[in-house]
Chains A and B, each alone.
Chain A
Amino acid sequence: MSLFEDLKLNVEQGKKEAVLALVAQALDQGHSAQQILQQGLIAAMDIVGAKMEQEEMFIPEVLRAAKTMEAGLEILKPLLGVGDMQVSGKVVMGTVKGDLHDIGKNLVAMLLSSAGFEVIDLGINVAPAVFAQKAEETGADFLGMSALLTTTMPMMAATIEELEKAGLRGRVRVLIGGAPVTQAYADQIGADGYASDAGAAIKVAKELGALVA
């Protein structure tokens, strides 16, 4: 097995020690950081993404592969030039005010992160003003909101209003989700994207990302 094949397999299987050793070995052999990133780490995550789509991997395995890929990337970061690392977009996200449910939001955050987005997770019970402030501070491309309770859904509309007040609405794309949330609700409150589950959230973010890029 070639070095890169070996590297990809170990990323896919989430073997961090092996990946760190293989990245170091590849550098020793004279491969560029850019080449290792593209042909090793990112290529591995492409395989993982495809396998996930085909329902061949469990979510915890995907998350572990992503974490392993990030560990490999840490070694390469100091060696990569500006522009070598393409980030799909920066996402500020959280569960809306009054709502303490976060498993759906966490799942979306982890999957977005493994799909190359930079995720700033504000946690649960996030007030509209806090969403807006963090979106501004971080220069976020996306703002993601989650709600499980029907009674907290209106906080999504309140947050969009807050973004408008802060003059951020033009720059920040708003994505919403959660069990009671619907496309109709997204349309009603003027959100840019709605996803019915975590997998769809990644697709919607990528599509909207491509639109802004």
Chain B
Amino acid sequence: MSDVAPFTPAVRLSHLGDDVKTRIFEAALRVLADVGASVQHDEAVRLLQKAGCSLDSDGLVRVPRPAVERALSSAPNAFTLYDRDGAAAMELGGHNVYFGTGSDLMWQYDPHTGEHRPSRLDDIARVARVCEALPNMDFVMSGAYPTELDPRGVYAVTFLTMMRNCTKPLVIVAESEIDLGVIIDVAADVRGGRDQLRERPYFLAYVEPVSPLSHPAESVAKLLLCADAGVPVAYVPAPLLGATSPVSSAGHVVQGMAECLLGLVLHQHRAPGAPFMFGVNQGTLDMVSGQPSYAAVEGFMNYLTVVEMAKWLGLPNWGISGCTDSQAIDAQLGLEVGELTLLSMLLGSNLNHDVGFMGFGLTGALEEIVITDEFVSMNKKLLSGIPVQDEDLAVNVIAEVGPKGHYLRHPHTRRYLRKGPGQWRPRLLNRDNRDRWVECGGLDLREKARRKVQAILESEGPPTLDPVLLALAEERVAALKASPKVGSPS
């Protein structure tokens, strides 16, 4: 079952003053009102017009300040995701921090052979199993794209696989409103109805506009369907610094915000108060090699700003963590995973996806998920802050032990360890001395993580899904795959 106590850091990072945040927001408003955007969905354009936006002779939609302000005031500051069984699992908002995987990786490091090979459906099952077992992974996103399957209805198959292999809340992607509709139907079956799903959302849908300033019909249709069904949605552009956004950090954030906020205006006009998640992904184009990066320091700079802007706007935010540009499970992976994950925790970033990503979002490794889990655990301790009650200040204890004494036998020490804050101990990171480490096989972190993955995969999985529900879900997915509407993007 899921842990409902949210982690909120006592130690926090914030670096922008109100004046700077106002400047960034005002610039995004100017982009929305003056530059406009291309919205490739007729109904959405009509809705935006009703929300006070204009469709101009150049075909672009321009969004005035009052429309944005109205959307910001109706959008909830927080919303909750519930697990498969309907228990509250993630309270998204404030500085609550949650972690989970990302989606659609094309390659995997095979957990058994170590081979780098194309992703398969059984990788999705393994990602879900591993996340289910790890206490600091709060949600599951597919982690892999099943390259061996016919792409028709593939995201519904993916959803079903995640649902069967874990009980934690899900973050999903869909090709269009058609497969998203089927995924919503299946989730409603699990909950016992549409209203129950609306009351206790089982998943968040991830939807992207295309930078710069383009809102494709499929993206907008998915956004509207989420608004109608009361399914939480993250409408998150992925502008690539210097290529599909300005090269400057502030410019990247301004454009990304304008893209996301147009989605918010549309979404809140359709369903005021429906759960919406704000975010701007932080991709950077290496301006010499042309290679996009997930771990460029400029991207991290943008990320810091985006999360702070989300807090300032009072919207739950979409974040990132646990990923690397490295192609190997090596020290670079450790550094980059660590830096980004710690930043997310310090920022109080709400929903942090992409744990387990390597090589710019193309390769996945289960070991990386296990390593990130350990890192999150350690830093939850670090950022919990130090209590300073009399018991903690321990002046009496110091007096009782006095000069030249020791604390190992003092009850305060035992009490603190057993009943108080205790001491964080690693499960994977090494603290053995040389002799003991050699005696235990001289294993490095990668090998220890690999063994932990094996142990999880060999252990008993989560409780199985009700067979009646499963049969119904499989029927719905089969009908989708057979539908002439899927597999032919228009």
Residues of A within 8 A of B (CB): 55, 57-60, 97-101, 103, 107, 150-155, 179-180, 182, 184, 197-199
Contact A184 B290 (CB under 8 A): no
Contact B104 A59 (CB under 8 A): no
Q: Taking CB as reference atom, which chain B residue is nearest A180?
A: B106
Contact B240 A103 (CB under 8 A): yes
Task: Give A180 to B118 CA distance when docked, in angstroms.
Answer: 10
Residues of A with C-beta under 8 A to B288: 55, 57-59
Contact B287 A58 (CB under 8 A): yes
Q: Considering the complex of A and B, which 3 residue pairs feature the smallest CB-CB distances, nearest first?
A: A98-B489, A58-B287, A198-B290
Per-residue 0/1 for B298-315: is the Cβ within 8 Å of any A Cβ (1 yes, 0 no)?
000000000000000000
Task: Give A104 to B128 CA distance when docked, in angstroms.
Answer: 32
Q: Is the CB of B89 closer than 8 A to any CB of chain A? A: no
Output the residue of B104, B242, B285, B489 with the most chain A CB within 10 A.
Answer: B489
Per-residue 0/1 for B33-71: is the Cβ within 8 Å of any A Cβ (1 yes, 0 no)?
000000000000000000000000000000000000000
A175 to chain B, nearest CB (A): 16
Per-residue 0/1 for B170-197: is the Cβ within 8 Å of any A Cβ (1 yes, 0 no)?
0000010000000000000000000000
Q: Taking CB as reference atom, which chain A residue is nearest B215?
A: A100
Task: Give A51 to B228 CA distance when docked, in angstroms.
Answer: 54
Output the residue of A100, A155, A198 with the most chain B CB within 10 A.
Answer: A100
Residues of B within 8 A of A (CB): 104, 106, 118, 145, 147, 151, 154, 175, 210, 214, 216, 240, 242-244, 285, 287-291, 360-362, 487, 489-490
Contact A150 B151 (CB under 8 A): yes
Task: Give A110 to B183 CA distance when docked, in angstroms.
Answer: 40
Contact A182 B290 (CB under 8 A): no
Task: Give A103 to B362 CA distance when docked, in angstroms.
Answer: 18
Task: Give A98 to B118 CA distance when docked, in angstroms.
Answer: 23
Sample 8 A-B pairs with CB under 8 A, ordered by A number: A57-B288, A58-B288, A151-B175, A151-B489, A154-B151, A154-B487, A180-B104, A198-B290
Partner of B145, one of A97, A99, A150, A184: A150
Contact B210 A100 (CB under 8 A): yes
Q: Taking CB as reference atom, which chain B residue is nearest A58?
A: B287
Task: Give A98 to B486 CA distance when docked, in angstroms.
Answer: 12
Partner of A153, one of B151, B243, B244, B287: B151
Total A-B Cβ pairs within 8 A: 57
Contact B291 A197 (CB under 8 A): yes
Partner of A98, one of B104, B214, B362, B490: B490
Task: Give A58 to B242 CA distance when docked, in angstroms.
Answer: 11
Residues of A with C-beta under 8 A to B287: 58-60
A155 to chain B, nearest CB (A): 8
Contact A107 B290 (CB under 8 A): yes
A48 to chain B, nearest CB (A): 13
Task: Give A76 to B106 CA distance when docked, in angstroms.
Answer: 48
Contact B214 A100 (CB under 8 A): yes
Task: Give A97 to B489 CA distance when docked, in angstroms.
Answer: 7
B105 to chain A, nearest CB (A): 10
Residues of B with C-beta under 8 A to A152: 489
- Known contacts A155-B489, A184-B118; can you find 12 more A-B pairs with CB under 8 A? A55-B288, A57-B288, A58-B287, A100-B210, A103-B243, A103-B244, A107-B290, A150-B151, A150-B154, A179-B361, A180-B145, A180-B362
Contact A107 B106 (CB under 8 A): no
Residues of B with C-beta under 8 A to A55: 288-289
Residues of A with C-beta under 8 A to B145: 150, 180
B116 to chain A, nearest CB (A): 11
Task: Give A150 to B361 CA distance when docked, in angstroms.
Answer: 13
Contact B489 A107 (CB under 8 A): no
Contact A59 B290 (CB under 8 A): yes
Contact A150 B489 (CB under 8 A): no
Contact B210 A101 (CB under 8 A): yes
A98-B489, A100-B214, A100-B216 known; A150+B289 contact, CB < 8 A: no
B426 to chain A, nearest CB (A): 36
Residues of A with C-beta under 8 A to B240: 103
Q: Taking CB as reference atom, which chain B residue is nearest A61?
A: B287
Task: Give A60 to B241 CA distance when docked, in angstroms.
Answer: 13
Residues of B with C-beta under 8 A to A180: 104, 106, 145, 362
Residues of A with C-beta under 8 A to B360: 179
Task: Give A98 to B487 CA distance when docked, in angstroms.
Answer: 10
Residues of B with C-beta under 8 A to A199: 289-290
Contact B151 A151 (CB under 8 A): yes
Task: Give A182 to B490 CA distance when docked, in angstroms.
Answer: 24
A143 to chain B, nearest CB (A): 20
Residues of A with C-beta under 8 A to B106: 150, 179-180, 182
Residues of A with C-beta under 8 A to B243: 103, 107
A135 to chain B, nearest CB (A): 21
Task: Give A199 to B240 CA distance when docked, in angstroms.
Answer: 18
Residues of B with C-beta under 8 A to A151: 151, 154, 175, 489
Residues of A with C-beta under 8 A to B147: 150
B212 to chain A, nearest CB (A): 9
Residues of B with C-beta under 8 A to A182: 106, 118
Residues of B with C-beta under 8 A to A179: 106, 360-362
Residues of B with C-beta under 8 A to A107: 243, 290
A201 to chain B, nearest CB (A): 10
Task: Give A180 to B105 CA distance when docked, in angstroms.
Answer: 8
Q: Taking CB as reference atom, which chain B residue is nearest A181?
A: B106
Residues of A with C-beta under 8 A to B214: 100
Task: Give A175 to B459 CA distance when docked, in angstroms.
Answer: 46
Task: Give A150 to B152 CA distance when docked, in angstroms.
Answer: 11
Task: Give A153 to B151 CA distance when docked, in angstroms.
Answer: 9
B283 to chain A, nearest CB (A): 10
